[in-house]
Amino acid sequence: TKISIFCPATIANLSCGFDVLGMALEGIGDRMNVSLTQEKGVQITRITGGDLPMEAEKNVAGVAALALLDAAHYQGGVAIEIEKNILPGSGIGSSAASAAGAVWAINKLLGDPFTPLQLVGFASLGEALASGSPHADNVAPALYGGITLIRSYDPLDIAKVHCPPLLHAALLHPQIELKTSDSRSILKRTISLEKGIRQWGNVGGLITGLFTEDYGLISRSLEDRIIEPLRSLLIPGFDDLRQAALKAGALGFGISGSGPSVFALTTGPEVALNTEKSLINCYQSLGIPFKTYTSAI
Ligand code: HSE
């Protein structure tokens, strides 16, 4: 009754799909050990790699786990050990990895009483604790794998999107502090019809491009005229990074989730590595500490 799992990092939004699109990264993620206990409740017994609350009610994994145990009317409890590799506050779904990992593992240990859709619901409660909003565009791909679309939040309706096998990502994480709650609070509440038309055209284009493996269509659709113009102002060197990524052959470039990480999608691992190199070259002169990654999807 102990399970050891990998909890993937995720890129939310994918430029045009604010709060509805997300993708899981194959090579970047946390590890988690979860076991059932006699004692009722959730105990976070160890966290390495991050300075995070151990108290279950204040921890994203703890909150998600408590919601699941409550819904299952489980009489015992769970013990959770978290090994963080995804830096909290990086914009690649650190809190989502913990929340999704906890509910996925507990559901397995209890014999799969809940559907993946229900697990997304529990994990979103962890996200609500972390960022003040129960968005599911990181927890959904973390739980389903690959790329997901949240067609509706109420009722929750999630569709898995085909992921072309060549698709890779290169990421750069500028180590500046940018809280999801802050980068959400700067957003406007309303958009013009003109911007809406452009954005849903891109969302449809991206989904179609992914299903038909049409990389040209994917590339043209990786555009965001609503959120990115506001949030990119908070990310030093954003425009130069975009130029660098596109010059290296990336399909598109944007903000990963609410930032500060940025991502580029590429066809294949070589272009991803080239893109990573270009991003590094571009950022070295800025004097801001950063980390980079590449990953399959
Ligand atoms: N869709 C969310 C946002 C993701 O952009 O605020 C946060 O990781």
| Atom of ligand 1 minimally distant from the CA of 258 | 5
Confidence of residue 108 (pLDDT cuts 50, 70, 90): very high
Q: Is the ipTM of this complex over 0.90?
A: yes
Q: Residues 128-150: what's their mean pLDDT?
A: 94
pLDDT at 1 over 90: no
Pocket probe for ligand 1: among 150, 153, 180, the residue whose CB has the most ligand atoms within 8 Å is: 180
Q: Residues 16-24: what's their mean pLDDT?
A: 98
Residue 131: what pLDDT? 84
Active site residue 212: no
Out of 10, 148, 180, 267, which one is annotated catalytic? 180
Pocket probe for ligand 1: among 14, 16, 18, the residue whose CB has the most ligand atoms within 8 Å is: 18
Which protein residue has the closest C-alpha to ligand 1 atom 4? Answer: 257
Out of 37, 48, 115, 127, which one is annotated catalytic? 127
**Distance in Å, CA 255 to ligand 1 centroid:** 10
**Distance in Å, CA 73 to ligand 1 centroid:** 31
What would the pLDDT profile of 234-281 be if each residue is shown by its tens digit?
A: 999 999 999 999 999 999 999 999 999 999 999 999 999 999 999 999
Q: Residues 108-131: what's their mean pLDDT?
A: 95
Ligand 1 neighbours (beta carbon < 6 A):
12-13, 18-19, 135, 137-138, 180, 184, 257-258
| Atom of ligand 1 minimally distant from the CA of 91 | 8
pTM for the full model? 0.96
Active site residue 127: yes
**Distance in Å, CA 254 to ligand 1 centroid:** 13
Residue 192: what pLDDT? 98
Residue 132: what pLDDT? 84
Higher pLDDT, 286 or 3: 3
Residue 110: what pLDDT? 97
Averaged pLDDT of the chain: 96
Best CA proximity match to 42, nearest among 79, 75, 5:
79
pLDDT at 208 over 90: yes
Confidence of residue 133 (pLDDT cuts 50, 70, 90): confident
| Atom of ligand 1 minimally distant from the CA of 183 | 6
**Distance in Å, CA 98 to ligand 1 centroid:** 16
pLDDT at 130 over 90: no
**Distance in Å, CA 208 to ligand 1 centroid:** 23
Residue 77: what pLDDT? 97
Higher pLDDT, 177 or 43: 43
